[in-house]
């Protein structure tokens, strides 16, 4: 009977006050833990820096892959097949060939580069002007830049198209610059796999760092934990500050990783745009977007939480009554 009464009393207080108690305890614990970490800036800073550097590496690699992908996206447009016609084919004949090719289903678009415009382009590139003036007549052939349909872009299909173009009577030769692009895509895929691999490895590292830090904190607070257990603290209550500490380590580590990567991008912005200008291109280096930042921060908080969860569960079970 007294047992029942005690239990029903407990349930009453719990039901009525639970949301308020729960919220205020969590808020208090979160704040308290944060300031306790700030009380020892050096050890906290070192742990945070280790986490930050660990996370900055895969994040930086991700940014690299992302920028390369953007760059390659621009090149996809130029993934054309160049059909060089015989030198004696004039512009009028070329136009009839174009209209003939436009009926082919695998071709999306054809750009006619006349002999004159090719010559102009050559002149514009510079350095060739003198050489071209020496020549009695225009040595350049008509070129058709052929853009295949998006649905017709696998290497095998492009190979077939290339063979078909070669059979045209006026075709001199066909060039397809897709091999290097395929290689580039393969490298990109490799880097992306590397991001995942490095990310998981260093994520495990973060787990261990946080776990070990929390383990040491638990050992330091052994007596306090024991006394709290003596006066009736629940396991959840004792666990809570350590879990918050883990989450704070994660968040601060994630923020410093973001800072490191963002600073690196700012430093690289100038040299990259200089390099791009040498290639007559304008290439803005993109940083960590909203999504990537969100993933880094939530991932780092999660890693911190899991790391401390493991440590707390291992070390609080050792104080059970025998």
Partner 1 sequence: MILFEHVFKRYPERGEALTNVSFEMKVGEMAFLTGHSGAGKSTLLRLIGLLERPTRGQILVNGRNLATLPRCQIPYHRRQVGMIFQDHRLLPDRSVFDNVALPLVVTGLGHKEVGRRVRAALDQVGLLRRERAKPVALSGGEQQRVGIARAVVGRPPVLLADEPTGNLDPDLSREIFELFERFQYVGVTLLIATHDLGLVKSMRHRTFTLGDGRLINDTRSW
Q: Which residues bind partner 1 (CB under 8 A)?
A: 1-3, 6, 10, 17, 21-22, 24-25, 223-224, 226-235, 237, 320-322
Residue closer to partner 1 (CB basis): 17 or 121 = 17
Residue closer to partner 1 (CB basis): 18 or 275 = 18
Helix (H) or strand (E) holding 296: helix 290-316
d(Cα 229, Cα 322) in Å, to the nearest integer? 14
Residue closer to partner 1 (CB basis): 154 or 234 = 234
Least Å distance, CB 238 to partner 1, is 9
Residue closer to partner 1 (CB basis): 179 or 230 = 230
**DSSP labels, 144-208:** EEEEEPGGG-SHHHHHHHHHHHHTSTTEEEEEETTHHHHHHHHHHHHHHHHHHHHHHHHHHHHHH
Residue closer to partner 1 (CB basis): 21 or 197 = 21
Residue closer to partner 1 (CB basis): 96 or 220 = 220
Least Å distance, CB 216 to partner 1, is 17
Specify which residues 237 forms β-bridges with.
Answer: none
Least Å distance, CB 231 to partner 1, is 4
d(Cα 318, Cα 46) in Å, to the nearest integer? 29
Least Å distance, CB 24 to partner 1, is 8
Q: In which region does residue 280 sit, left (phi positive, over 0), alpha (psi from -120 to 50) or beta (all else)? A: left
Least Å distance, CB 16 to partner 1, is 12
Give CA separation, 185 vs 58, 101, 179, 281, in Å: 19, 29, 10, 20
Least Å distance, CB 313 to partner 1, is 14
The size of the chain, in residues, is 322
Residue 178 backbone phi and psi in degrees, to 5: -105, -15
Helix (H, G, I), strand (E, B) or coil at 316: helix
């Amino acid at each position: 009977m007294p047992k029942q009464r005690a239990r029903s009393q407990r349930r009453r207080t719990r039901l009525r006050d639970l949301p308020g108690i729960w919220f205020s305890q969590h808020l208090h614990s979160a704040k308290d833990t944060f300031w306790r970490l700030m009380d020892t800036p050096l050890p906290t800073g070192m742990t945070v820096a280790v986490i930050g550097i660990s996370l900055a590496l895969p994040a930086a690699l991700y940014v690299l892959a992302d920028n390369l992908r953007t760059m390659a996206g621009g090149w996809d447009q130029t993934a054309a097949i160049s059909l060089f016609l015989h030198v004696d084919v004039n512009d009028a004949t070329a136009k009839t060939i174009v209209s003939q090719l436009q009926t082919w289903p695998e071709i999306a678009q054809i750009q006619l580069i006349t002999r004159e415009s090719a010559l102009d382009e050559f002149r514009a590139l510079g350095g060739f002007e003198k050489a071209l003036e020496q020549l009695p007549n225009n040595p350049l052939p008509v070129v058709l830049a052929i853009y295949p349909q998006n649905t017709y872009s696998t290497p095998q299909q492009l190979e077939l198209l290339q063979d078909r173009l070669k059979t045209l009577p006026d075709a001199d030769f066909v060039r397809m610059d897709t091999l290097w692009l395929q290689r580039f895509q393969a490298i990109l895929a490799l880097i992306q796999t590397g991001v995942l691999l490095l990310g998981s490895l260093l994520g495990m590292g973060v787990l261990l760092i946080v776990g070990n830090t929390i383990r040491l904190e638990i050992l330091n607070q052994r007596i306090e934990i024991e006394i709290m257990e003596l006066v009736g603290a629940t396991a959840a209550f004792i666990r809570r500050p350590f879990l918050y500490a883990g989450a704070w380590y994660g968040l601060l580590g994630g923020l410093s990783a973001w800072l490191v990567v963002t600073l690196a991008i700012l430093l690289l912005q100038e040299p990259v745009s200089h390099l791009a200008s040498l290639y007559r291109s304008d290439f803005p280096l993109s940083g960590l977007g909203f999504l990537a930042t969100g993933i880094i921060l939530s991932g780092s908080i999660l890693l911190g939480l899991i790391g401390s969860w493991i440590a707390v569960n291992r070390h609080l079970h050792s104080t059970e009554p025998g």
